[in-house]
Structure 1
Amino acid sequence: MTQATRRFMTAAAIAAIALLLWWWSARRSGEEATGPEGGQAASGGAAIDIGPIVDGAKLPRLDPRLAERAAISGHVREADGRALGGATVCAGSSAPGLSSKEQAARACTTSAGDGSYRIEGLLPVPQFVHASAPGHVPDQYRSGPGRRARTLVTLRAGQETAGIDVVLQAGGAELKGIVRDLSGGELEGALVSSGLAYARSAADGTFTLWVAPGETYIEAEADGYAKGWMMGVAPGTTFELALTPESVLVGRVVRAEDGSPVAGAGVYAEKHLDTFAYAVSDASGHFRVEGLKPGAYKLEAFHDEAYGRAAESAVLGLGETSEPIVIQAHPAYLVEGTVTIAGGDSCEHGWVRLRDPKVGARGAQIEADGLVRLRGVLPGTYEPQVECDTYVAQPSYEPVTVVDAAIRGLRWEVQPGQAIRGRVVLSGGTAARGLHVGAEPQPDPSAPRAQTTRAWSSRTGEDGRFELLGLLPGHYRVSASSNEHPRSEPPLEVDLPPGQDLEDILVTLPATGELRGTVKDSEGLPVKGVEVLLRGGQQELPSARTVDDGSFRLPHVPAGSYRVQAISAWLPLQAPGTTDDDVQGTSVTVATGEVAEVKLVVESQHGRIVGRVVDSAGGPLSDAFVEATRESDSAAAGAGDALRDSRWTFGGAETRKLTDQDGRFELSRLGDGKYTLVAQRRGGGEGSVEHVATGSEVEIKIADAGSISGTVRIQGGGAPEEFEVTLYDASTGWRSGDKFFRTGGAFRFPEVPRGNYSVTVESAEGASSAKTSVAEGGRAEVRVELLPLLTVRGRLIDALSSQPVPGMEVRIRARGQVHMFTMHDNTPRNQTSDAEGRFEVEKVAAGPAEAIVLPKDWVDNGYGWSNIVLEVPSTGATSVELPPLRIAKKRVSENEGPGDLGLRVRPPAPETEPSEAKLIVAAVRPGGPAMRAGLQIGDEIVSVDGQDVTGLNGYLFHELSAVPAGTTVKIGLGRGATIEVTADSMK
């Protein structure tokens, strides 16, 4: 991502990315060893599971697919109890053991005039029931009040469960749209969903849903296609979803010892940060994973008595079905237990994760009655981590040691914890509906490694009441927020005493005005579906999205002056005749109780690019997949930034198309400017063309893919049992990774574009890296010898005061590895800095490394994230002491927006060694603070307020230079001068 992109990213965009990473990480850590219990789409098969042990004997646990079907019945009612006919009522299940295709499926019916409904033909597994109806907000069945209401319905084979009633509130908005494939044809029968609302597309591809008004997320899936999604606003937006033809993985799971089939194995396919799918092997061991997008997939198989990985990643082209893949499964074991709530009840929602630093992680979601079944667990000693929604887990649980047999009957108890309850009201005292309330723990510097808890409420109802559950005693910040409302500011600070809940807490939202406006292009045409953001004195401000006529509405804006910007793909849309280095947007002042209006005019959004995709011999490629990413025209943009950004950008139907039988394509509804186009083809391989202007015709050549293979050896002899390999081409941003299990140290990546790669290997026995190059259609081989792992100790200090910084998690990995984090990570206690700032990280390889430093449990302790490049010395000892690591405290408060220094720096080229990186000024805003202070384009920034920011210290620049408006910063320059720059307001 370019420095320009980074600078323009809003708090909302950052939050969206953090949420995506959190979700992805939570799925990996919670499900990777059992197969995910939810995902995209895949096929299932019949299987026999193994039940509990009674009197020393295993009792068979029949697969629910083989059992007699069940039924659910009940009524849909208005909030006042009146019957509601014509509602769409659906049942579904996320029960472990079902394929992700089965989990995505819904059995639906329509309620009769008296509100009654009946759904039959259901698997006898726990089901949830939800309903939607014209003019109403969709909702689901709940048993009991508040956040701890039960939502699952237990079904018995051959029986009907009655009395499952759903209550719907009035106030729903109509959402309309159309589903097409990437060639433009309408799709009939696609399953379209938005939260708890479901519908099928008609013969012309159209559909209608009734949802909660405002911004919403919508998905569509259909047989033969991968799932598609879109964000938009209801009412007012016509949703257009374009589905990609599915790719399919097929193969067989067999026992490594004798090649016999493994029935009932969960086969998990993962594409990095994108697609997750799960299928179940049939009686002959065969599996079929459907609904996949093109790309490289890792494949794992999990069974009560076995675990295995595919020998290499499977690379799928668009609409391609793989050659049969054989997964050899080795002996492994089942770990089974129950999550119970103190007092005797069982947990309904949550998961358990087992972690052994030498073996890895195994996890599973909680089933009915608190049961957890972790399959395919290899021998080792595991530390359990338990998560039960709205309850407090113990700080630690007894280790689980797996030797050579299944373990059953384990019990993990959680506590109810304490609660904070209250109301959210508007400034005039009226109850505020539709907000989430959060309780954020505030760290105790004297106990930086202590367990902390946080909580989120359900949306507030008509009375504005909220309930925060599962909290430990301590100091909390309580605040309320939504997309439409500003966050309550300042947050309410409360102390939750031991053994006592807090009641009748009042959270008051600030007085607001309203902002309405339109976004139109230079031709006077509306621009729909772009995000409208406010920039001003706060970071967390309401946002909106334009509807079909280009209009938007922000009903609750705090009084003040702002700059209003239209954002697409993380960049502000340019006004005609401007560049990304110009200040974009329009200034507006909002007064309390009044309506302000604004009109944004941006460059034309109706450009087009046409072209043709060919193979290495120049022949046309039909059904190739083409995607466009806009290139920034900022002076701070680096060469190839758009190509690297394309790995992360999620474009819409306009910027993503299929080629026809002649290899031709057309991309439309593009903003003025230049684009990087990337094409992928059936059978693998990709090609790209940069600097393509709208109105151009272009040819994209997909070069023949190469491959990288190699061997991994432990220093002193032997091969690791399991290891992970990451490939990364810094110049193009292409990255791939895979884990290898019992391959004798051999690894292979079969489809790799030409480029220059770093190859990073990590295992329990050591880590190391190498470099190699791949020519078009060429093959590269590397040999990697693992360096012994060390214990790394160090100390965190504040960059300005040199005082110790407690309560920060430190994670160190070989340079080039991807760091994924979640609030639920089971981080060893010693990796959190203590009161003296000291930390200890085990199993670190000597050599080039990166330390990621972040607040423990993501608590706001005044510090952000730091990515520190370092070198772990090889001394021959088993442990090393690092020099103190300096981190910078945030210079703006939690919800304060930074000022504008009026400068941008050019990011170093990807191939630059970190120690040689320089902060070169690429743009200086005319008339801005930096220009007034004498900063010049081409200047090198070497210090900020006396702190060195050159080379390896460059990570300090962002935090030190992000200051409130009116703050003066001393910037040291490579030419020997020091200038004083006073930040302007960002509005």
Structure 2
Amino acid sequence: MTQTTRKFVTASALGVLALLLWWWSAGRRGEDGAGQDGAPAAGGAAALDVGPLVDAARLPRFDPRRADRSAVSGHVREPDGRAIAGATVCAGSSAPGLDAKELAARTCATSEADGSYRIEGLLPVPHFVHASAPGHLPAGYRRGKGARARGRVTLLAGQETREVDVVLRPGGVELKGVVRDLSGGELEGAQVTSGYAIARSGADGEFTMWVAPGETVVQARAEGYAPGFMIGVAPGLLFEIALTPESVLVGKVVRAEDGAPVAGADVWAQQQFEGVGPARTDANGQFRVEGLKPGAYRLEAFHDEAYGAAPESAVLGLGETSEPIVIRAHPAYLVEGTVTIAGGESCERGWVRLTDKTAGVRHADVEADGSVRIRGVLPGSYEPQVECDTYVSQGPYEAVTVGDAAVRGLRWEVLPGQAIRGKVVLSGGTGVGGIHVSVEPQVDPAAPRALGARAWSQPSAPDGRFEAVGLVPGKYRVSTSSSQYPPPAAPLELELPEGQDLEDIVVSLPATGELRGTVKDSEGLAVKGVEVVLRGGQQELPTTRTLDDGSFRLAHVPAGSYRVQAVSAWVPLQAPGTTDDDVQGASVTIAVGETREVQLAVESQHGRIVGRVVDAAGGPLSDAFVEATRESDSAAAGAGDGLRDSRWSHWGGETRKLTDQDGRFELNRLGDGNYTLVAQRRGGGEGSVEHVATGSEVEIKIAEAGSISGSVRLQGGGAPQQFEVTLIEPSTGWRSSDRFFRTGGAFRFPEVPRGNYTVIVEASEGSSSGKTSVSEGGRGEVQLELLPLVMVRGRLVDALSGAPVPGMEVRIRARGQGHLFTGFDETPRGQTSDEQGRFEVEKVASGAAEALVLPKHWIENGYSTSSIMLQVPATGATTVDIGDVKIAGKRRGENEAPGDLGLRVRPPAPETEPSEAKLVVASLRPGGPAMQAGLQIGDEIVSVDGQDVTGANGYLWHELSAVPAGTTVRLGLGRGATIEVRADAMN
């Protein structure tokens, strides 16, 4: 793959991860989308009980801030009961109704000589308690045993909850770090956390905490700054976290009908997949959302009797406080209920999601007593999806109809389900602790739409014991997940019978050797904090990161041959004198019980680029961020790839710097090579310079941002209640998306760079697209009329065999719009291909579309995720059949060594229509299989093993060419020849 392709694939995977995190966090803001089509999968009987509405239900809800404070006390002990003195014990809460500061706050105490502690001044809401101590693994309080042990502590107003004891096991290591602001100054008093471990930075910005050895994520937050984080390995690496001065959104929530202030509303600021908040409005309806980074934010307000959204995104500069923003809230209602477990006990951890295909989606977490309060629900008929951690949903549940009043007294019941229990052992039979065991359902080809359940165990006990609960009868794959240990050579295939748990299952990890080494640059200097990965053999292999001295250690590597690579920002670091087209890293073979060492030499990582950022008039800009993205020197790289790649660089953030008061910046710790530099300020102004070599000094001019506005109308007149607009500038990769609510069809993006844009709008009533251009400081306008949505039907078939492919989920949206994330069990049944491969997707716009085809519930089933460009014909009918859709099955097994054909193809330009795309050979590895077979640079590949890969079928190339070492692939060429290429080992 080219550098661009590698970065896109990995960033897409991270994008999925980010979407997962966003989906999980959505319950804490009450809403996560408008007009999504997710609905629960069918399964067992529904359980819904609507109780009577009583006047008492409208009494003011208990406000813990006005109640007497609570306290919690207990002891910190070793597993054998010995007291641990000097432990840091903290209490925090994730209770709904708290604002952002209260959710982030931790109140701590230090344990005495007898291990006792007492924390006071706590709000009387459920809390979690956790502790850390020198030489110990941090841990949280849990009562009960097994996977369903509970961790929340009930606190009552004016009372002390006692005997909240925390057990810490030996084995913790010391993690050291420093917190600074972007200018390099040390920050005192920052709260630093890593899981259950917590610390405060001193006057010199330094902190120390005790964590589990290995890779960890360290987060820091400080008053007046946006949160920041770093990923690294402890011990031996100094964690350096730079915080950005916060920007702030202020404003007021008022009722749309009369302008009266709305007190007690939760206001959330949404940026991409991250929600910041909530900030609760005061008696005058005023709010203040703090801790924001620069950028564009969508504001939404949720109240028991109202919902509102700002008419357009608010754009913030560095350290800027916005002008007051008015959010007009319209009538909406509270939906209140309880999630109960069959037998009467309440659910402690979970969420409820309500979906109406027109009104949108609302979502809330389950509170400690099982209650759920979903605020700001618009009138509509909602399909509930209910999740209780470690239990089985009984969905589909009866629809919840919201009219002109709150809905209370709902009850959703979940079932305990069944369990798989056993032990994780090393090759010699010794139990191993700290391993997560994953239990994933397997698709039954005869019933691919059947309800399934998956489980993820708590870390295995020191003796290796694990328990996975909340399962339904069926076939499962059992494997493990750990950054330090490889998974089993092959997952266990088990069948869980009706009404019977599986006991004493043994999950055996493979025998291993050890790999140690160093990563140093061409100057002999250590390269710290980069990821070390293994390529070859199993797909899931341990990874680690280098320490301050450049060293690394992988203590558990399964026997085999590998290529060891040092990776930064998901791209392998290059050895001195090589290019992207050369194979990077070192080859190593490891035997069981053997310790091998390897030294990786990479190009200098101490390159430097300095410069100045100015505005359109040449004046210095002191609030601009500058990022450097390494340009690929591969023959397969396309023009402008560096600028498009920079859109993903915020995931790494290693080269992001802030200009000083003179507009100057310095980017360092760069590998030798050419870079694309992008400077941005606020939400849209940006400037870029390409082909900048390390050692250069440059000036970046930020052009004055423009704007795009427009209107959306329904056929026959009127405007949609809510709609989503996406802007795409294909040549630069710039894109932005926003949702609009009751704006009369008007929309506006206040700050966008100059360029030629595609504008896509989607609503429950229809979809449309158009184009507009924006000059420097100019304004683009577009008027769009929604075209009716249709149902798309089709059939998935294997590209090589033509056989139907069951159990794949299909999602279709307008091309360029992207795909709304939906959870594991909420894709409508029709969107999962049946035993004949047939599927149907509702609410699809006619015209250029993109289909995302992925395994059901994201679970391995022999096929990877495919992105397929389609053309949905506008026939005037309400249903369109697109016929057979080909997808390619995986040709390499999980434990087969990957093969390398020794070639790279050039990706088509972003503006290329799929039907016109070509797979043109851009580079050949000298002496590699493709060169030996007679392939030439410039050849067009038109088929793989007889399967057409031209034009819109180009998406099949990646999977069809990903074969095991030793496999012979027949490549059909545009010049009429067919050659056979035998893949050799990648390492």
Q: Which residue of 2 aligns with 1:423?
A: 423
User: Structure 2 CA distance, aligned partners of 1:602 and 1:193?
Assistant: 33
Structure 2 CA distance for partners of 1:200 and 1:310, relative to 1, 3 Å = same
SS at match of 1:647: helix
Q: Which residue of 1 aligns with 2:634?
A: 634
SS at match of 1:793: strand
Q: Which residue of 2 aligns with 1:918?
A: 918
Q: How does 1:943-958 map to 2 (within 5 A)?
A: 943-958=943-958
Task: Report the alpha carbon displacement of residue 100 of structure 1 after superposing the two structures with TM.
Answer: 2.1
SS at match of 1:645: helix
Q: Which residue of 2 aligns with 1:21?
A: 19
Q: Which residue of 1 aligns with 2:585?
A: 585
Are the aligned partners of 1:805 and 1:835 in contact in 2 as well (CA < 8 Å)? yes
Structure 2 CA distance for partners of 1:767 and 1:17, relative to 1, 3 Å = closer
Are the aligned partners of 2:263 and 2:282 in contact in 1 as well (CA < 8 Å)? yes
Are the aligned partners of 1:537 and 1:986 in contact in 2 as well (CA < 8 Å)? no
Are the aligned partners of 1:318 and 1:683 in contact in 2 as well (CA < 8 Å)? no
User: Structure 2 CA distance, aligned partners of 1:30 and 1:130?
Assistant: 21
Are the aligned partners of 2:4 and 2:641 in contact in 1 as well (CA < 8 Å)? no
Q: How does 1:482-501 map to 2 (within 5 A)?
A: 482-501=482-501
Structure 2 CA distance for partners of 1:795 and 1:530, relative to 1, 3 Å = same
Number of residue pairs matched by the alignment: 971
Q: How does 1:515-914 map to 2 (within 5 A)?
A: 515-650=515-650, 655-681=655-681, 685-824=685-824, 826-914=826-914
Q: What CA deviation, in whole Å up to 9, does each residue of 1:785-831 have, x standing for no partner?
A: 10011111111111111111111111111111121434435211111
Are the aligned partners of 2:53 and 2:409 in contact in 1 as well (CA < 8 Å)? no
User: Structure 1 CA distance, aligned partners of 2:822 and 2:601?
Assistant: 40
User: Structure 2 CA distance, aligned partners of 1:148 and 1:259?
Assistant: 48
Are the aligned partners of 1:26 and 1:824 in contact in 2 as well (CA < 8 Å)? no
Are the aligned partners of 1:531 and 1:545 in contact in 2 as well (CA < 8 Å)? yes
Structure 2 CA distance for partners of 1:650 and 1:740, relative to 1, 3 Å = closer
Q: Which residue of 1 aligns with 2:42?
A: none
Structure 2 CA distance for partners of 1:563 and 1:34, relative to 1, 3 Å = closer
User: Structure 2 CA distance, aligned partners of 1:182 and 1:330?
Assistant: 41
Are the aligned partners of 2:137 and 2:212 in contact in 1 as well (CA < 8 Å)? yes
User: Structure 2 CA distance, aligned partners of 1:959 and 1:868?
Assistant: 13
SS at match of 1:871: strand
Q: What CA deviation, in whole Å up to 9, does each residue of 1:594-642 have, x standing for no partner?
A: 1100000000001111100101000011132212221121111222222
Task: Report the alpha carbon displacement of residue 897 of structure 1 after superposing the two structures with TM.
Answer: 4.7
Q: Which residue of 2 aligns with 1:329?
A: 329
The amino acid of 2:799's aligned partner reads: A
Q: What CA deviation, in whole Å up to 9, does each residue of 1:662-699 have, x standing for no partner?
A: 11111111111111222222585222212111101011
Q: Which residue of 2 aligns with 1:444?
A: 444
User: Structure 2 CA distance, aligned partners of 1:626 and 1:117?
Assistant: 47
Task: Report the alpha carbon displacement of residue 190 of structure 1 after superposing the two structures with TM.
Answer: 0.6
The amino acid of 1:284's aligned partner reads: N
Structure 2 CA distance for partners of 1:81 and 1:511, relative to 1, 3 Å = same
Q: Which residue of 1 aligns with 2:199?
A: 199
The amino acid of 1:779's aligned partner reads: R
User: Structure 1 CA distance, aligned partners of 2:606 and 2:274?
Assistant: 29
* 2:169 is aligned with 1:169: yes
Task: Report the alpha carbon displacement of residue 842 of structure 1 after superposing the two structures with TM.
Answer: 1.1
Q: Which residue of 1 aligns with 2:48?
A: none
User: Structure 2 CA distance, aligned partners of 1:162 and 1:29?
Assistant: 30
User: Structure 1 CA distance, aligned partners of 2:276 and 2:895?
Assistant: 34
Q: Which residue of 1 aligns with 2:375?
A: 375
Moved over 6 A (4+): 8-11
Q: Identity of aligned pairs, percent?
A: 75
Are the aligned partners of 1:654 and 1:668 in contact in 2 as well (CA < 8 Å)? no
Are the aligned partners of 2:29 and 2:268 in contact in 1 as well (CA < 8 Å)? no
Q: Which stretch of the first structure deviates more once superposed, 266-275 or 419-428?
A: 266-275
Q: Which residue of 1 aligns with 2:964?
A: 964
Q: What CA deviation, in whole Å up to 9, does each residue of 1:178-209 have, x standing for no partner?
A: 01111110000111111111111000000001
Q: What CA deviation, in whole Å up to 9, does each residue of 1:135-187 have, x standing for no partner?
A: 00000000111221110011111111111111100010100000111111000
User: Structure 1 CA distance, aligned partners of 2:818 and 2:78?
Assistant: 49
User: Structure 2 CA distance, aligned partners of 1:203 and 1:625?
Assistant: 27
Q: What CA deviation, in whole Å up to 9, does each residue of 1:281-329 have, x standing for no partner?
A: 1111111111111111111111000001100011111111111111000
What is the TM-score with the length of structure 1 in the denominator? 0.96
Are the aligned partners of 1:275 and 1:292 in contact in 2 as well (CA < 8 Å)? no
The amino acid of 1:67's aligned partner reads: A
What is the TM-score with the length of structure 2 in the denominator? 0.96
Are the aligned partners of 2:917 and 2:952 in contact in 1 as well (CA < 8 Å)? yes
User: Structure 2 CA distance, aligned partners of 1:87 and 1:421?
Assistant: 33
SS at match of 1:368: coil
SS at match of 1:882: strand
Structure 2 CA distance for partners of 1:895 and 1:247, relative to 1, 3 Å = farther
Are the aligned partners of 1:416 and 1:470 in contact in 2 as well (CA < 8 Å)? yes
Q: How does 1:76-225 map to 2 (within 5 A)?
A: 76-225=76-225
User: Structure 2 CA distance, aligned partners of 1:457 and 1:529?
Assistant: 30
Are the aligned partners of 1:626 and 1:680 in contact in 2 as well (CA < 8 Å)? yes
Q: What CA deviation, in whole Å up to 9, does each residue of 1:867-923 have, x standing for no partner?
A: 111111111111111121111111112454531111111111111111111111111
User: Structure 1 CA distance, aligned partners of 2:887 and 2:636?
Assistant: 25
Structure 2 gaps of 5+ residues are: 35-50
Are the aligned partners of 1:320 and 1:682 in contact in 2 as well (CA < 8 Å)? no
Structure 2 CA distance for partners of 1:78 and 1:228, relative to 1, 3 Å = same
Are the aligned partners of 2:33 and 2:361 in contact in 1 as well (CA < 8 Å)? no
User: Structure 2 CA distance, aligned partners of 1:483 and 1:52?
Assistant: 51
Are the aligned partners of 1:676 and 1:689 in contact in 2 as well (CA < 8 Å)? yes
User: Structure 1 CA distance, aligned partners of 2:448 and 2:561?
Assistant: 39
SS at match of 1:958: helix
Q: Which residue of 2 aligns with 1:506?
A: 506
The amino acid of 1:755's aligned partner reads: G
Task: Report the alpha carbon displacement of residue 19 of structure 1 after superposing the two structures with TM.
Answer: 2.5
Structure 1 gaps of 5+ residues are: 37-50
Are the aligned partners of 1:34 and 1:266 in contact in 2 as well (CA < 8 Å)? no
The amino acid of 2:703's aligned partner reads: A
Task: Report the alpha carbon displacement of residue 926 of structure 1 after superposing the two structures with TM.
Answer: 0.6
Q: Which stretch of the first structure deviates more once superposed, 337-346 or 617-626?
A: 617-626
Are the aligned partners of 1:248 and 1:292 in contact in 2 as well (CA < 8 Å)? yes
SS at match of 2:226: coil
Are the aligned partners of 1:35 and 1:301 in contact in 2 as well (CA < 8 Å)? no
Q: Which residue of 1 aligns with 2:5?
A: 6
